[in-house]
Amino acid sequence: MFISIDADKCMGHGRCYAVAPDLLSDDDEGFVAQRGQCWEIPEGLLGQAEEAADACPEGAIAVLETAPSNA
């Protein structure tokens, strides 16, 4: 499973890294530091990835079965 964060949708609400501290972190401006990235979810962290996706009010985070072809 992969997690993808849409840089254009992220508005820096900061909810994602609050619920997924082992997967995500914040940058100096309060945005998720991993915005614009897509990567394979490490073992054991799928729950945090799904919580982060649910927590984001902008719908910027997607949990995917496969990596997008343009990633």
Q: Which two tokens stand for residue 63?
A: 């949990």
Question: Helix, strand, or coil here: 2?
Answer: strand
Among 3, 4, 5, 49, binds ligand SF4 (CB under 6 A): 5
Among 3, 4, 23, 31, binds ligand SF4 (CB under 6 A): 31
Q: Is 61 in the site for ligand SF4 (CB under 6 A)?
A: yes
Among 2, 14, 62, 64, binds ligand SF4 (CB under 6 A): 14
E-strand spans in 15-70? 38-40, 61-64
- Residues touching ligand SF4: how many (CB under 6 A)? 15
Do residues 27 and 33 touch, judged by C-beta distance below 8 A? yes
